[in-house]
Amino acid sequence: MSNTSLKRTLSLWQVSALGLAWNTPMIYFSTFGVSYESASGQLLITYTLAFIAILFTGISYAYLAKKIPVSGSAYTFAKAAIHPNAGFIVGWIVLLNYLFAPIIACITFGVFLSAQFPTIPSFVWIIALIILLAAIAIKGIGASANISATFVAIQLLFIGGFAGFLLYKLFQGGNVPLANAFAAPLLQLDNPFHVLMVGASVVVFSFLGFDTITTLSEETKNPTKTIPRAIYLILIIVGTFHLTSSFVIQTSFPRLSFIQADAAALELMASVGGGILQLIFIVVLAMAIFTQGLASITAVSRLMFVMGRDGLLPKRAFAFIHPTYKTPVFNIILASCLSLLSLLFTVESAIRFVNFGALTSFFFVNLCVIILSWKNRVRHAPFLTYIAPAIGATIMFVLVSMLDVTTLTVGFTWIAFGFVYLLYLTNVFQQPLAAWKPSSKQSIHLP
């Protein structure tokens, strides 16, 4: 058995790059058709609701990352704040989210590349991506972060240029009054509020990713400061670019229809800039999907590592760290093999499964802040410790309830299997899971 320790090498910018890579700013366009249909065309309002919903949970993640600077994300937070059994169930839910994230990357990669190059089947692109992601992820977290930082910068430049071009076209010649142009997307209320919230429960996927960096706490320099700062930085960047993109697209194209929803962004690019913009878009999108897949494989492999280290998954395999690369090689290979399921799913179905896992785990993360604060009799900063997490938990509960019946059925079936496995692990609660006992390097930092 190799020494189960990870190497602290990541800086604020590297951690932020990995979070942005998982989220990938271009996810807005790779899932544009699904999001547009879910939002019934009212992009700006729906994305604004989703951003507000995520912001409260982001506050809770930042708070817990400062207090519990240990890899494992929501799993570790629930184990430390609530109970080891609750930690397992939350970790099991997060696992659904993290396992489907690289699957979405592979699906979208195959869809867009085969749409641009129809002579090459999508499965060829998918298999090639899986092999490449596994090889780079095995090599090490530093390589992943540096590649991600470069590709994320290219994405942001493309989105900024695209939005700027649409704004220029919109106001060229002064034919459109500024006040009317800026007000139109906000005043376009064709759907009732509950329909907008249903749309928000889908487009919220575009804001996911900040949470994955909490799986990197043990590979980050000064994690009690770096991780919370990275969370806020990611939310600000993603929120700014998604809301700006929603505004300029909805203002420029009040009504849109697509031949193929999964590749709708290709049709959008053709209508804006023709074949040249389409080609540039494909190149940037390929980079974006690549970084999303790389960050997703990294995140899920670290979550499985922590659960293996804690004995919730077979320790010999899942807690193994390669002596040379210092990465959980078995977990990376397993996640890569599971990514072959991308050959069986659509983009929309995979997004909904990710959203179920994410939104449900977000509910528990908000709950963790309240319980941890109550247990330790925290009285100051009530907004951070009680009000914001209570609002966040309520919003997450509402968004989960608005997911479609199939997604809820599959999601709760997954939880049921997790509960059965928990009964096995604990011998029907006769042998409780070990409580989390922080070491000197893994302590809860209380006020």
Is pLDDT above 80 for 407?
A: yes
Range of the domain at 42: 12-426
Which secondary structure element, helix H or strand E, spans residue 142, and what is its range?
A: helix 141-171
Examine residue 2 and state whether it is found in any structural domain, yes or no.
Answer: no
Q: Which of 209, 157, 270, 273 is nearest to 24 (CA)?
A: 209
Tens digit of each residue's pLDDT (9 = 90 or more) over 9-32 = 678 888 888 788 777 889 899 889
Region 39-60: mean pLDDT is: 90
Of 440 and 231, the structure prediction assigns the larger pLDDT to 231
Token reading at 139: 């090599």
Is pLDDT above 60 for 447?
A: no
What is the CATH classification number for the domain harbouring 242? 1.20.1740.10
Longest dimension (CA), the chain: 75
Is pLDDT above 60 for 442?
A: no
> Model-level pTM?
0.83
Of 148 and 281, the structure prediction assigns the larger pLDDT to 281
Check residue 208 and give its pLDDT.
Answer: 84
Is pLDDT above 60 for 207?
A: yes
Of 341 and 8, the structure prediction assigns the larger pLDDT to 341
Examine residue 189 and state whether it is found in any structural domain, yes or no.
Answer: yes
Is pLDDT above 50 for 43?
A: yes
Is pLDDT above 50 for 235?
A: yes
Check residue 199 and give its pLDDT.
Answer: 86
Mean pLDDT of the chain: 85
The dihedral formed by the CA atoms of 43, 49, 53 and 56, expressed in degrees to the nearest 10: 120
User: Which of the four pLDDT bands, split at 50, 70 and 90, describes residue 174?
Assistant: low
Tens digit of each residue's pLDDT (9 = 90 or more) over 306-326 = 889 888 889 999 999 988 888
Write the DSSP assignment of 43-85 as a string of letters. HHHHHHHHHHHHHHHHHHHHHHHHH---TTTHHHHHHHHT-HH
User: Which of the four pLDDT bands, split at 50, 70 and 90, describes residue 386?
Assistant: very high
Check residue 437 and give its pLDDT.
Answer: 60
Examine residue 56 and state whether it is found in any structural domain, yes or no.
Answer: yes
Examine residue 446 and state whether it is found in any structural domain, yes or no.
Answer: no
Check residue 215 and give its pLDDT.
Answer: 73
Examine residue 357 and state whether it is found in any structural domain, yes or no.
Answer: yes
Is pLDDT above 70 for 391?
A: yes
Region 84-104: mean pLDDT is: 90
Segment among 15-19, 32-36, 179-183, 443-447 with least mean pLDDT: 443-447
User: Which of the four pLDDT bands, split at 50, 70 and 90, describes residue 142?
Assistant: low
Check residue 150 and give its pLDDT.
Answer: 83
- Length in residues, the chain: 447
The dihedral formed by the CA atoms of 398, 402, 405 and 410, expressed in degrees to the nearest 10: -60
Q: Which amino acid is at 136?
A: I
Q: Three-class SS of residue 10?
A: strand
Is pLDDT above 90 for 398?
A: yes
User: Which of the four pLDDT bands, split at 50, 70 and 90, describes residue 189?
Assistant: low
How many Cβ atoms sit within 10 Å of the Cβ of residue 118?
9
Examine residue 95 and state whether it is found in any structural domain, yes or no.
Answer: yes
Examine residue 293 and state whether it is found in any structural domain, yes or no.
Answer: yes
Check residue 256 and give its pLDDT.
Answer: 83
Domain count, the chain: 1
Segment among 50-54, 212-216, 284-288 with least mean pLDDT: 212-216
User: Which of the four pLDDT bands, split at 50, 70 and 90, describes residue 443?
Assistant: very low
Check residue 392 and give its pLDDT.
Answer: 95
Triad 390, 394, 399: Cα angle to 5°: 145
User: Which of the four pLDDT bands, split at 50, 70 and 90, describes residue 190?
Assistant: low
Please state whether 140 falls in left (phi above 0), alpha (psi between -120 and 50) or beta: left
Is pLDDT above 90 for 293?
A: no
Is pLDDT above 50 for 42?
A: yes
User: Which of the four pLDDT bands, split at 50, 70 and 90, describes residue 444?
Assistant: very low
Q: Please report how the helices 178-187 and 43-67 are oriented relative to each other, as an axis angle in degrees rounded to 10.
A: 70
Token reading at 425: 């692990």
Examine residue 7 and state whether it is found in any structural domain, yes or no.
Answer: no
Region 401-429: mean pLDDT is: 93
Share of the chain above pLDDT 90, in %: 38
Triad 198, 202, 207: Cα angle to 5°: 125
Is pLDDT above 90 for 161?
A: yes
Check residue 440 and give its pLDDT.
Answer: 43
Tens digit of each residue's pLDDT (9 = 90 or more) over 326-383 = 889 999 999 999 999 999 888 888 888 989 999 999 999 999 999 999 998 888 889 9
